[in-house]
Structures are given as structure tokens and as C-alpha cells.
Chains A and B, each alone.
Chain A
Amino acid sequence: MLVIIDYGVGNVRSVTNAFRHIGADIVVSCRTEDIEQASGLILPGVGASGYAMERVAPIAELICRQARTGKPFLGICLGYQILFEMSYELGEYQCLGLIGGSVIPIPPGRTIPHMGWNKVIPAAGMRLFAGMEQGKHFAFAHSFYARVEDPAASIATTEYEGLSLTAAVEKGNIFGVQFHPEKSGNDGLAVLRNFVGICQEAKQPC
């Protein structure tokens, strides 16, 4: 069973629809026992980091503890941004700190938000993109982006009007995507299927 952590921020329904569509055993919950029993966790979210951190605060410790057990963990969009150490979106907020780096505004001089479908180039071996052709398009909708400063993390990038943006990150069992796989057509569903596969593998004893 996978659990979508519902902390009251954003598009839980869209993410649930997509996982159900690919046949995943998925539950939406914020209960400690569900989160502890899950074979994989998904942290969705749309909106602003400050608000999200406020909402996630009561379960932040539980999330971090679970993520450190080696359980596969996927952050999506805002849920991805709060995996980092700090966010500078409309203020300064300490985030979950599971991946080194911070979230900063997309520099002005270009159309913002970065809205629509852009080509993603993953680093070699990134498991979320396993079995996919290079350079598939995914749907983005964001005005801030993560500057990754974690030597243990692999990143996928996308190019936006002269700026190389981090599109996805992978560090051990921690995965994050700036784009919306639940809203990126068949290629997005393929990323979610890969995550489901990672969770199934992690569950099996070696």
C-alpha cells in the first residue's frame, strides 16, 4: 500500500486519480499508522512553501523519520520543494532538509510562472525515468525552483529561457519532481509506474 500524505495543501485528488489509473494500491491519509505501514509515501502539494510548511509541521518529524528508514518517498511540485533545507518563497522558511539545497525564485526577465510542457533530461541511471526515451516532456507550473547542493543527489534538468532548472532529484530512497507527473500524460504516468515499481522492490527482502 502506498500512502499519499494529505496535509491539506493542494491537488490530492489529481495525484490519487493518476495512481488509481495505473492500478496502484493507494490510500490518502495523514494518520501516523497509515504512514508507518506504507510501502511508499507520496507528498503532493500546490501553493506557497510557507503555508505548506505550516500545514506539514505537525507531521514533519514523522515524515523525516519515515524517509530515513529507507522507504521510497516521492515529493511532487511543492511537496518536492519542501524536501530541501530552506525556501525563500515569500519569506524564509526552514523545510524538511532531506536533500541539501534551497528553493529560490526563477530570476525575472522571462515569463513567470514557468507554465506548460518542457523537455526533461535526467542524469544517467535515475530510476524514475527508467525505460523511457531521453527528452520527454512533462507539465510544469511553478515560479520558484530548487538549487540542489547535495553531492549525493542525481538531478534531471530542463531548460527555460536560458536557465537550467532542476526538474527532478533522486537521493537514495528520496525522489522529487518539480513537474506534475499526474498531469503529464502517458510519460507522467510512466514515472509514477516506475515509482510504484521502486516501492515494490524495496518491500521485498533481499
Chain B
Amino acid sequence: MLTKRIIPCLDVKDNRVVKGVNFVNLRDAGDPVELGSRYSAEGADELVFLDITATIRSRKTIVELVEKVAANVFIPFTVGGGISSADQIGLLLRSGADKCSINTAAVNNPDVLRESAERFGAQCVVLAIDARKDLTRNGKWVVCVKAGTERTDIDAVEWAVRAEKLGAGEILLTSMDADGTQAGYDIELTRAVAEAVHIPVIASGGAGTLDSLYDVLDKGKASAVLAASIFHYGTYTIDQTKQFLAGKGVPVRL
């Protein structure tokens, strides 16, 4: 039986892991190479590395950092942030990434999903969606781009469905309303997307108590949970998290 995945996320800025609340007020959380290696050894199921500055100015630095992190990570490794073309995905895959997540570029040019899936296979193309509840639209969710700074009119659920057709193999779904608050994932949003697509959905944003992880896997129908603060600041270890979920009957790799 396929297990539910527990995925620590490294939000990287200026070669350091940082974590904010609702995408702002960033604080330092450590060295990405050290944290990546630790999570891999401690039994995390995957690792996500997001270049949150989407550094157009120093793409080379990011590639070098990805290489260093990957050298000590023996679990699937996803890299995202500022990726705009299939060629860039090719470069990151050669540098040690196993999957790449695309956000803004896919909104601007959905064809990049199709082209990347054709070249590298759908299994390494992750569509990242930053979604925010829009009260003017009966509480539906709209897609935000450029690290959450720009709101679009695109409906998050519809976008997920379209991305699957284009070739995305997975969806990394972040609730901007919940991100960094540690008040629990947006279960409604996660479930709406998970029920609309046939590809795995990784729930992100809002990890707090272990119950909140359980809830989004159970009620939210997520295939995986992504969390940052609770692991970086040592609130819970990966093992504690998995033991808790196993105790609730969730299939996990122990």
C-alpha cells in the first residue's frame, strides 16, 4: 500500500533556509545543506527546496546550492522557485533534483508544463499553486503568482484540473491564508483540488499540531503533507510525526 508522505520544505533565501508568516516576516531557520541531509537521514519521505526569491540574478548560485544539497539527500528531491522553462528543468535535474515545481511561469505560459512533461516525464513536473480565498467569489480560491505578491483571476481548482491535462504529475498546493500560521491546513481547499484531479496533491501551508497533519491527509484527501516551521524549529521530529499518524491508522513509512 502506498504510504502518505511527510515532506519538510526548505524555503531558501540568500543561501539560508528561512520561514515567514503568510509569506512575509522571514526568519532564519538554518543551513539548507545541513537541514536537507538531516531530514533525509531522519526518515523524511521527500524534500522540497524552494528558492523563494526566484533569483533571476543568481541562477548559477542556486544550481550550485542544489548540487550541494542533493549530494547528501537520498530521498526524492523537488526544486522550485523562478523556474520558467523546460531547459531550466533539464539543468536542475542534471544537478540532482528529481522533480521541479513550476508556478508563475506555468500561469504565464501553460505550455511549459506540456513541454516539460514530454521531455522529462510527468512524474517530475510539479505544478505549484499558491491559492488565496477570495471573499468576492463565494469564498472560492484564486491563484496568486510571483511568490504570492500578485493575485490573478484564475480559479485554483480549475487551474489544477487544466494543469493535469497539460502534463503536470503532481500538485503542490499552498494555502497562502494558512501559510506559516501553524493554525492548520486549509482542508476545504485541499479536498476541493484533490477530488478534482487524478494526480497526487501535496498539502502545504498551516502545519501546526500533529492533528492538523492528520486532518488534511484524512479529510483533505492529500497524498502528502508539506511542513516547514514545525520541523525546522524542532516542535516535532519526523519520527514523532510518523508515529502519531501510524497510531491514527494512516499508512506511513516508519
Contacts and interface: CB of A to CB of B under 8 A. Distances in A.
Contacts of A112: 198-199
Given A111-B223, A117-B5, A185-B43, A141 B123 contact: yes
Interface of A: 10-14, 17-18, 21, 46-48, 51, 78, 108, 111-119, 137, 139-143, 159-161, 180, 182-186, 188-189
* Chain A facing B: main interface SS: mixed
Interface string B1-34: 1111100000000000000000000000000000
The 8 closest A-B pairs by CB, nearest first: A141-B123, A137-B253, A47-B121, A13-B96, A117-B253, A113-B123, A117-B3, A118-B2
A183 B200 contact: no
B74 A183 contact: yes
Given A113-B170, A143-B123, A188-B74, A14 B2 contact: no
A7 to B, nearest CB: 13
A88 to B, nearest CB: 15
B127 interface: no
Contacts of A46: 93, 98, 120-121, 123-124
Contacts of B3: 116-118, 137
A14 B123 contact: no
Nearest to B44: A185
Interface in B171-205: 198-200
A48 B1 contact: no
B2 A117 contact: yes
Nearest to B252: A117
Nearest to B4: A116
Contacts, number: 112
B154 interface: no
B71 interface: yes
Contacts of A48: 118, 121
Given A21-B74, A46-B124, A111-B200, A11 B2 contact: no
Contact of A116 (B2, B74, B93, B119): B2
A117 B74 CA distance: 13
Nearest to A18: B74
Nearest to A118: B2
Given A17-B70, A182-B74, A141 B124 contact: yes
B224 interface: yes
Contacts of B200: 111, 113, 115-116
A14 B93 CA distance: 9
Contacts of B77: 14, 183
Nearest to B121: A47
B62 interface: no
Nearest to A139: B76
Given A46-B123, A48-B118, A117-B5, A11 B98 contact: yes
A39 B40 CA distance: 30
A118 B1 contact: yes
A21 B169 CA distance: 29
Nearest to A140: B2
Contacts of B71: 17
A12 B8 CA distance: 24
Interface in B77-97: 77, 93-96
B122 A12 contact: no
Contacts of B223: 111, 115-116
Nearest to B118: A48
Contact of A115 (B43, B72, B123, B253): B123
A159 B1 contact: yes
| Most chain B Cβ neighbours within 10 Å, of A47, A118, A140 | A47
